[in-house]
Amino acid sequence: MISLSNIYKSYQTGQSTLQVLKGIDLEIAQGEMVAIMGSSGSGKSTLLNILGILDEADQGKYVLDNTLIENLSERKAALYRNRFLGFIFQSFNLINYKTALENVAMPLYYQGLPRKERIEKANYYLEKVGLADWATHLPGELSGGQKQRVAIARALAADPKVLLADEPTGALDSATSYEVMELVRKINEEGKTILIVTHENDIAQMCKRLVHLKDGVIIEDKLVQSQSPKEYV
């Protein structure tokens, strides 16, 4: 599903160049649930942004679902994000003047689906994350966990190939975090490929594979005995 080879990425800050990713090779198959761990500043978000076509690598080859991601126009990039990728952010990134339902329907709007179908699908995914009763509420009226679940529904709505989550539980307390992770695992069990950036060990342990980044290289890549969040509660 995902194939990275020899990915380099650096940031220019003033005079100096900060080399963040120094040759990443990574293969992720359909249906995997991968945790990306590492200390702060190790390049986790940078890697995820490249995977999400939100940013571009300086060097290296990225193939997503048999499509080479290279020198994309903004238009093409938008199209691929819309078709292939679902995002879950630490700070939720919901549009605050739109209701939960409208937020979930957003990617469908950019897919060009007719209104009726959008509403139908959005309702289906809201129900899936257990927020059917909150459809008409604005993000401001929801708790952190609820917001993240709306964001998950939104990420799922377009039925992407891959879900990318950058510290999805970073803004949540542990009980809520586990609820969210439970949901994510359920989605993975239905066959979706999922990548989660986290620096929390317990969250990483709920995934099936763990990739450890340090100073821009992968220092460890192992399968984990996936634990259910229920065991932590």
Q: By the criterion CB under 8 A, which residues form the site for other proteins?
A: 49, 52, 54-55, 74-75, 78-79, 81-83, 87, 89, 93-95, 97-98, 102, 106-107, 109-111, 115, 154, 158
Residue 45 binds Mg ion (CB under 5 A)? yes
Q: How far is it, in rounded angstroms, from Cα 107 to Cα 64?
A: 19
**45, 146, 188, 193: residue in contact with ligand ATP (rule CB under 6 A):** 45
Tell me the one-letter amino acid at 113: L
**7, 32, 37, 43: residue in contact with ligand ATP (rule CB under 6 A):** 43
SS3 for 82? helix
**6, 18, 109, 228: residue in contact with ligand ATP (rule CB under 6 A):** 18
Q: Which does 81 bind (CB under 5 to 8 A by kind): Mg ion, ligand ATP, other proteins, none?
A: other proteins
Q: Could you tell me the CA-to-CA distances from 195 to 36, 66, 91, 186, 233 in Å, in that order?
A: 7, 18, 17, 14, 23
Residue 219 binds ligand ATP (CB under 6 A)? no
**2, 4, 7, 38: residue in contact with ligand ATP (rule CB under 6 A):** 38
Q: How far is the CB of 11 from other proteins (least distance, A)?
A: 11
Residues 6 or more apart whose Cβ sits within 8 Å of residue 205: 224, 226, 227
Q: How far from the centroid of its chain's Cα atoms is residue 201's Cα?
A: 18
Largest CA distance in the chain: 53
Q: How many CB atoms lie within 10 A of CB 208?
A: 16
What CA dihedral angle connects 143, 146, 148 and 150, to 10 degrees?
-130
SS3 for 127? helix
Nearer to ligand ATP, 9 or 147 (CB): 9
Q: How far is the CB of 75 from ligand ATP (least distance, A)?
A: 23
**16, 40, 73, 225: residue in contact with ligand ATP (rule CB under 6 A):** 40
Interaction with ligand ATP in 159-218: which residues (CB under 6 A)?
199
Q: How far is the CB of 108 from ligand ATP (least distance, A)?
A: 29
- Segment (H or E) for 150: helix 144-157
Q: How far is the CB of 22 from other proteins (least distance, A)?
A: 20
| Residues constituting the chain | 233
Residue 20 binds ligand ATP (CB under 6 A)? yes
Q: Name the β-bridge partners of 115.
A: none
* Footprint of Mg ion (CB under 5 A): 45
Site residues (vs ligand ATP, CB under 6 A): 11, 13, 18, 20, 38, 40-46, 199
